[in-house]
Amino acid sequence: MKILIDIKDDEATFGMKVLKSLSFVKNAKPLSAATAQLWEDLKEAAEEVRLHKQGKLKLKTAQDLLNEL
């Protein structure tokens, strides 16, 4: 199982030491800023799709997006 946790920058070093010291943690590594931003963008996009499927959000069509260009 993979788990993503958010640790304050000033506590990150300590947090990584704690995670790496746990025998059941296979791999603990920080995300780059770009990867973290991509992850947040993907979560937001998935949430918008979920809301659209529930009829709570109207999304633009591909044609509307192309017309904006």
pLDDT of residue 13: 94
pLDDT of residue 4: 86
CB 16, CB 30: distance < 8 Å: yes
Residue whose entry in the numeric block shows the structure tokens 């931003």: 37
Q: Phi-psi region for residue 3, left (φ > 0), alpha (ψ -120 to 50) or beta?
A: beta
**Tens digit of pLDDT at every position of the chain (69 positions):** 888 899 999 999 999 999 999 999 999 999 998 998 999 999 999 999 999 999 999 998 999 989 998
Query: Cβ neighbours of residue 19 under 8 Å, at least 6 residues apart?
Result: 25, 28
C-alpha distances out from residue 29 to 12, 42, 64, Å: 11, 20, 40
